[in-house]
Amino acid sequence: MFDTLQDRLADVFKGLRSKGRLTAADIDATMREIRIALLEADVNLGVVKEFIAAVKERSLGIELSKALNPSQQIIKIVNEELVTILGGEARTIRFAKRPPTVIMLAGLQGAGKTTLAGKLAKWLRGEKHAPLLVAADLQRPNAVNQLQIVGERAGVHVFAPEPGNGVGDPVKVARDAIEHAQRRLYDVVIVDTAGRLGIDETLMQQAADIKAAVNPDEVLFVVDAMIGQDAVNTAKAFEDGIGFDGVVLTKLDGDARGGAALSIAKVVGKPIMFASNGEGLGDFDVFHPDRMASRILGMGDVLTLIEQAEKTFDAEQSRAAAEKLMGGRAKFSLQDFLGQMQQLRKMGPLSKIFGMLPGAGQFKDAINEIDEKEVDRIEAIIHSMTPAERDDVAILNGSRRARIAKGSGTQVSDVNQLVNRFVEARKMMERMAGGGGMPGMPGMPP
Ligand code: GDP
């Protein structure tokens, strides 16, 4: 997301870089360009105006600084103002003093509520909570079933009305669910409600009734970011109709422009709490305005990467691999390499992971070319090796290589290439480790 905006802003700042000091005319021209870039990204006009006014005022007040050149100072201001319009501080669920904490999801049909219910439940489990999902969407055929499937994938229990789909009273279901949660000691209840294709009275009334019955601690408005400014309008209608505490943006993976993300918090005055960026249950994260701003400015999202890595990486295994490298007790083997690669891939497609690294913007083309199939091939080759071969590539003679190629459905030349690259990469890593450097991934495919 934000691809065009990122490129446009990069151009604006590039133009400033050569200037030793900025005149009022330079600042005016820069503001004009930023304004166009934001409007092209489909950002709400009112938000753009406010943003430009704030950046301009602060830019005119820039004093000569030893540390930063004028272009860096403007980047800093733009970054800070972006953080402000994105909502400032990150905010997640506020848990009730007395459990269960009740979270109600509201939004249009297809916004991604049911999927989100699963993502949120999985995330809460990771945070050591015991969530219960509640199927209060009794309108859409199959909605209960869909939630049950999602619940199963997330490993959480789903409370649904008894005889099954399409019948029952969503208000009663929601109320019963909370009693059930109290009895069974679930500490968070997530109520999935029905959506409609458009805003209508009945929908709002039903959501309002559920809200009144369960008295939720948090009402989350779930909205598809791909619908751009319509997301902002829908948010306003829901805020007027039922009121909510926070926004969840879904389908950010399909939203190239980013207008909804950049407008919604400011327009409705409610924080964006979570962001969804894919169909998988793991494609979900707490929304961090500061990280999003630096991503828009192409500074990369190092923090998200580190946090994800911490969650995904098996600390024990990583430490063992690191020790091998640093202490030289045993040589880093293809088995270790396979382990590291698999851990990295657990975080998501490699192109996505590398895309979050700082400076990734410059290597966008190379990153887009990362071929997951090539990585699959590497995994297949290593899988076809015996443990002894993985441990010591030196024993890989011609006949072993032929057997491995056959077993992994590749060519001997593929096996040779992998072994050669691995040996080269290991040499480099050993040199780095010798110099006190950090262990890293050995040579990935170019
Ligand atoms: P609901 O009607 O609000 O419950 O919406 P669903 O949860 O059924 O989602 C509608 C469709 O959007 C489904 O096909 C989901 O797989 C898909 N979806 C949900 N969230 C995301 C997301 O973050 N990214 C993408 N690409 N698809 C999503």
Domain with residue 54: its CATH number is 1.20.120.140
For residues 105 and 195, is the Cβ–Cβ distance under 8 A?
no
- Position 426 scores a pLDDT of 79
pLDDT of residue 371: 76
Please give the structure tokens belonging to residue 256: 């190239």
Q: Is the CB of 59 under 6 A from ligand 1?
A: no
Among 246, 264, 299, where does a domain finish? 299
**Same domain, yes or no: 372 and 282:** no
Q: pLDDT digit string (tens) for 4-19? A: 888 888 888 888 777 7
Query: Do 139 and 199 reside in the same domain of the chain?
Result: yes
144 DSSP 8-state letter: H
Pair (55, 188) in one structural domain? no
Query: Could you tell me the distance, in angstroms and rounded to a whole number, from the CA of residue 115 to the centre of ligand 1?
Result: 6
pLDDT at 348 over 60: yes
Q: Residue 358 Cα, ligand 1 centroid: separation in angstroms?
A: 29
Strands (E), 332-395: none
**Is residue 309 pLDDT above 70, yes or no?**
no
The annotation status of 241 as a binding-site residue, yes or no, is no
The reply to whether 91 falls in a domain is no
124 is in an annotated binding site: no
The confidence band for 247, taking pLDDT boundaries of 50, 70 and 90, is very high
Share of the chain above pLDDT 90, in %: 50
Look at residue 306 and tell me whether its pLDDT is greater than 70. no
Q: Which residues make Cβ contacts (< 8 Å) with residue 200, sequence separation at least 6?
A: none
The answer to whether position 439 is within a domain reads no
- Asked if the peptide bond before residue 289 counts as cis, ω within 30 degrees of 0, the response is no
Residue 262 lies in a domain: yes
Task: Find out whether the beta carbon of 196 lies less than 6 Å from any atom of ligand 1.
Answer: no
The CB density around residue 65, as the number of other CB atoms within 10 Å, is 11
- The average confidence (pLDDT) of the chain is 84
| 201 and 117 part of one domain | yes
Single-letter amino acid code for the residue at 15: G
* Residue 443 counted as domain residue: no
How far apart are the C-alpha atoms of 167 and 216, rounded to whole Å? 23
Whether residue 441 is contained in a domain is answered as no
- Exposed, middle or buried, 395 (CB in 10 Å: 0-12/13-18/19+)? exposed
pLDDT recorded at residue 288: 93
> Domain range holding 430?
306-434
How many whole angstroms separate alpha carbon 22 and alpha carbon 303? 32
Best of 1, 115, 140, 285 for a ligand 1 pocket test (most atoms within 8 Å of beta carbon): 115
pLDDT at 315: 57
Residue 218, φ and ψ in degrees, nearest 5? -140, 130
Q: Is 279 in the pocket of ligand 1 (CB under 6 A)?
A: yes
Helix (H, G, I), strand (E, B) or coil at 133: strand
Is 252 known to sit in a ligand binding site? yes
Which of 85, 110, 134 marks a domain boundary? 85
CA of 112 to the centre of ligand 1 (A): 4
Task: Kindly report, residue by residue over 20-38, the tens digit of the pLDDT.
Answer: 778 889 899 999 999 999 9
Please check whether residues 238 and 181 belong to one and the same domain: yes
> Could you give the number of structural domains in the chain?
3
- The ipTM, to two decimals, is 0.98
How many Å apart are CA 259 and CA 285, to the nearest integer?
A: 19
- What is the mean pLDDT of the segment spanning 341-362? 70
> Does the pLDDT of residue 438 top 50, yes or no?
no
Query: Does ligand 1 lie within 6 Å of residue 291's CB atom?
Result: no
For residues 408 and 411, give the distance between their C-alpha atoms in angstroms, rounded to a whole number. 9
Q: Is the CB of 8 under 6 A from ligand 1?
A: no
* Residues 144 and 278 grouped into a single domain: yes
**Which of 54-68, 88-102, 355-369 reaches the highest mean pLDDT?**
88-102
Q: Residue 289's pLDDT is what? A: 94
Q: How far is Cα 268 from Cα 236, in angstroms, rounded to an integer? A: 6
> Between residues 3 and 87, which one has the greater pLDDT?
87
Task: Check whether 236 has a pLDDT greater than 80.
Answer: yes
* Same-domain check for residues 250 and 216: yes
* 281-300: pLDDT as tens digits: 999 999 999 988 888 887 65
Note whether residue 142 is domain-resident. Answer: yes
Handedness of CA 436, 439, 443, 444 (dihedral sign): negative
- Spatial contact of 157 and 213, defined as CB atoms under 8 Å apart: no
Which amino acid makes up residue 407? G
Tokens of 120: 């949120």
- Predicted confidence at residue 64, as pLDDT, reads 64
Can you read off the two tokens belonging to residue 24? 């009022």
C-beta atoms surrounding 73 within 10 Å: 19
User: Tens of pLDDT along 373-427?
Assistant: 888 889 999 999 999 999 889 999 999 999 999 999 999 999 999 999 888 877 7
| Closest to 378 measured CA to CA, from 412, 331, 415 | 415
Q: Is the CB of 145 under 6 A from ligand 1?
A: no
User: What does the pLDDT average to over 126-136?
Assistant: 94
Binned at pLDDT 50, 70 and 90, residue 317 comes out as low
> Would the pLDDT of 66 be above 60?
no
| Residues β-bridged to residue 189 | 102, 132
Q: Residues 54, 135: one domain? A: no
Tokens at residue 134, please?
A: 């509640």
Whether residue 169 is found in the same domain as residue 78: no
Distance CA 180, CA 394 (A): 62
Spatial separation of the C-alpha atoms in residues 211 and 178, rounded to whole Å = 13
CATH of the domain at 273: 3.40.50.300
Measured from the CB, is residue 193 less than 6 Å from ligand 1?
no
Q: What is the pLDDT of residues 257-290, one digit of tens each?
A: 888 989 999 999 999 999 999 999 999 999 999 9
Residue 69 maps to a domain: yes
Q: Are residues 264 and 324 in the same domain?
A: no
Q: Is the pLDDT of residue 61 over 90?
A: no
Of 176 and 421, the one with more pLDDT: 176
Least confident of 103-107, 400-404, 407-411, 429-433: 429-433
Say what the pLDDT of residue 165 is: 45
What is the DSSP code string of 104-121?
Answer: EEE--TTSSHHHHHHHHH
Domain-ending residue, one of 237, 269, 299? 299
Q: H helices of 41-87, where?
A: 45-60, 70-85
Question: Is 300 among the annotated ligand-binding positions?
Answer: no
Ligand-binding site membership of 107 (annotated)? yes
Q: Report yes or no: 86 and 261 within 8 Å, Cβ to Cβ.
A: yes
The two counts, helices (H) then strands (E), for the chain are 20, 8
Cβ partners under 8 Å of residue 312, min gap 6: 343, 346, 347
Specify the ligand 1 atom closest to the Cα of 137.
4
Query: What's the confidence (pLDDT) of residue 280?
Result: 93
Which atom in ligand 1 lies closest to the alpha carbon of residue 109?
A: 2
246 and 394 part of one domain = no
Asked if 289 and 315 sit in the same domain, the reply is no
First to last CA, the chain: 24
**pLDDT value at residue 402:** 95
Range 188-204 average pLDDT:
84
Assign 444 a pLDDT band (cuts: 50, 70, 90).
very low
Interatomic CA distance for residues 181 and 174, integer angstroms = 11
Per the domain annotation, does 363 fall within a domain? yes
For the domain that residue 332 is a member of, what is the CATH number?
Answer: 1.10.260.30
Predicted local distance difference test score (pLDDT) of residue 373: 81
423 or 301, higher pLDDT: 423
**Substitution site in 113, 148, 250, 277 for ligand 1 pocket (most atoms within 8 Å of beta carbon):** 250
Give mean pLDDT, residues 204-210: 89
Higher pLDDT, 79 or 347: 79
* 271 cis-preceded (ω within 30 degrees of 0): no
